[in-house]
Structure formats: structure tokens, C-alpha cells
Chains A and B, each alone.
Chain A
């Protein structure tokens, strides 16, 4: 990171966690899923990885990011507002309320959102199309997709994985938010993801694993992936904790669907996140 320090990203991460919590307290949303991946988004958007800014958002050579796990929209909106893609007050006035300009899942009509998602398993295929078009147009841009680990049970994920490798899409990086939890329980209880890295390697992807909450590791992995091998798509398995930052929520599957609406939970959340600041 040339101009951005790890300390800066850690501070941003704390700010964004507070924003996410307040959004979910006010209007709902999948808070545990958002806290699981916010550090990844922070590393992409604030860590000088993704060359997409409000100033170049219509430039065809901008890097692309697709949130395939669209139910973590709270995290995406928080980081996009923080980067200036739209005014931060919309997080209060338009998120899951009124006209829902910022709806319960991301729409491509929102500045900075590259693909509408919400149903799982679409993001990698869409990024394949963008990446192939970029190659035809000789664009230097890179394409990032964030998928959930449970999402990897979708067949379309593996259709896209086969396609990307066959067409040597070196301008594509997929990040798996590996929090080990589905909606009901541990992923290992209902699907056979391990050995996850070996599976993707067998599909001819260049695979890295990192701590999905450590900015130095994230930055290193994302930088290597973006530089790429030229001929292989990249995969980063980011080991994460669902509900990260709120100990009463961490690693508890039920928080995928629970709302942050009980006064005691709200008070505790605000206390924890305020203490983090101190």
C-alpha cells in the first residue's frame, strides 16, 4: 500500500461496522453476513486495489466488482457511500425504506453497483462476461467477485469456474467469504466444500488463502491476484468470522436471519463498537 496504512484501514473498518450496525438497527438487513465481508470490501475499495471511483464510474476501463452474495448489501452500500458514490444520508433515508433506492439487495441502478444480485450463483458468470468483453476490447481492467462459501453449493458457480479457466480469464479474481456458516448450520454439516482450495486448483484456478480480517494479508493476496498469472483466473479463500466484531453474534448461524431489534442487543452492539473506538 503506497499511501494507505494498515492502521487507516482498521479505522475505516471500525467506522463501517458502526454504519452497518446502525443501518440494520434502523431498517433490517443481514448484519452477520455483512460483518463477515466488510473487511474484504474495505481492502478493495479503500486499500488501493479497485480502480473504481466516483470520478471514473462511467469509464469502461475501470475495475469491476460484483457482490455475488447480494444479501450483504448493507456492507456494500456502507463502503460505496463512504467512498462518495452516493450521499451518505441515503443510508438513512433510502435503505430498505420509502422508494428503496438502496433496496434489500443491490441493483445495478445504484451508482457503483455493477450487477444486480440477490439470488445466489450469478456473480462469477456475470464477471466472466465482463472479463471476456474486456479481453475483446483490449481493456486492462480487472474483475473482482465476492461469493459466500455456502453459495458454492450452487451449480452455476462451477459452470462459471470451468468456463473462466477454459477461457484463461486472467483478469478475473473471485474471493470466497469463508465463514463456514450457512443459514441453518455449519457448511460442513450439509455440503462437502473441503478441500476447497484443492477443488479450485483442480479447476485450474490460481488459489491463495488468507485471513479475511487481516488487512496486510488481504492486501497481499488481492495485489498478487490482480497482477495475475495472465492465463489463470485467481481465487482467494478469505477465512472469515460471520458476525465479526460482535462477540455475541460471531459464529452463530441464527444471526443470518435475526434482526438487530431487541433493545438489549442494540445497546450491547453500540457499546461494543464504541469501545472498539476507544
Chain B
């Protein structure tokens, strides 16, 4: 696979030479491939925000290199500036950076800075607005009149309008209601598909990650302890928990079931996979687990199909029941 963004022995030290000095990143080797949908997880202060700000040249490494499409972005001033446009970065709560009189002008800010001509800017603004589902009527409104979710989509459109080959989003769904979350994730997926763009998404929600990404990178204390497919990463359940992270709730249930002696696959991380794993386990006849428990699981799994995958109260309920039963 062709690498889109790559870091080599990237280190960053904050407030060097003061009592507040601390290393935010230590010798990080990280690669994002072209067209990949990548998730970055790490608890607050793990260095993930520092990492993503290096990827488009907002922060300068204390040591090490950052390569975008094979080019060292600190080789020259032009290379740094080019990296800004090749790698789009959407910060956390991006709605607070809106400043223009109209939505249209705000989305056009990025393309204008790129020095594009009027027709191209107009084309890009309209295309970006379409990606995030903003109507033409909204383009002439003031961004400050919109709702929170709409504002955030305007801010994301402002970055998409630069047509970056890689789009990085820091907690794009933080503080949104479930409908807003789905809309934003849908918009990002659309952009990913339409432009074959590399997507890097930072999130705290393991459920959300499990559903969307191809590959996961875990950051802890400025280092990358492990990365891989969600299945590989979530197999490190206990280590993740020790880092203040976790695994999707459904994975936790299955790992616990496994620990209790049920013959189920402990690496499932989505509801459909859980259903398959359960049916497979049941199809092979009764196991060590009590029949009553199996019956309950079946009923629960049928219910789960209709509940939204991110609200898994049903599963929580079952797992505490099981503890009682044992």
C-alpha cells in the first residue's frame, strides 16, 4: 500500500527548559495509507492531539520527520504550506472557528487562501456544502444563526472545500445527539468514498470506531503500543482498560462470557458479528453454559438487532444478570 502520511521517529517536547517540560510524543513511527479509514484512540493527554497537529505542519517536531506523500513537510516553506492543503485538519469543536458573515464565505476561506480562482472556489464551496448536506438557502445565512450540528457541518465543509487528500478529524462527533453523530459520520464516509481520501478520525467512542474504521492506532503516553484491525486491537482488552480506554461493550460481554467458560469468539466488536458468533455457538449444541443462560442470550440478541448499536443498555443488563446467575 502507498503511504499518504508517515512519521519517522517523531518526538515532541512541550515547554522545554521550564518546570513544565514534558514529552508529548516519543519516537513515534506512524503511517497512514492512501484511501484508508483510520482511527486513533487514546485517553486525554496521551499525545493524540499533538500527533495530528504534526501531520499537517501546525507543530514542528522537536526531532524526527513528517512525510506527506513522501515529501518532508519541513524541507522548505513551500512544502509546509503545501502540506496544509494536502492534509485537512478539523479540530475538536470546529464550530468555534467560524467567523464570516455568511456560510458561503466561511467555507470559501480555505480555498481562497489556496489562491484558486472565483469559479473554482464557487464550485468547491457548493460541492463541500453538498457533502455535508447544507442546502443552498443556508449558504447565504449567517453561520451564527445555525444550530450546533449545522455549525459543525459548516466547519467541516470549510476543510473539505480545500479537497485535501487526507482528512483528519479530532472528535468530530463530540457533544452531538445520536442523529447528529450519524449525519457527521455519513458525511465523512461520503467524502471518503467520493475522493478516495485518507480519513483519520480521533475518538473516545469505541463503538463508533468499531463501526467505521479499517484500522486502529492506539496512543498511550506519547507512544504507539499497538495498532491493527479493530479485531486485533480489541483483543488487548485488559491492556486497553489499564490505559484508561476500553473495548466496545459487546466485546467486553463476549470476553467475559469466554472467561466464564462459554465457547464463543471473544474478538467480536459489532452487533452483527455478535449475532453470528452466538448463533454459531448455539448451533453446535449445548455447551458448558447453562441452557437457561443460552436461551436468554438468544432472546437478547434478537432484540439487539433492532436497537441502535451505540445504545447497548440491553447488553449491560444481561451481563449483570449473568453475574447474578453465576
Q: Is A bound to B?
A: no
Chain A residues close to B by CB (< 8 Å) = none
Chain B residues close to A by CB (< 8 Å) = none
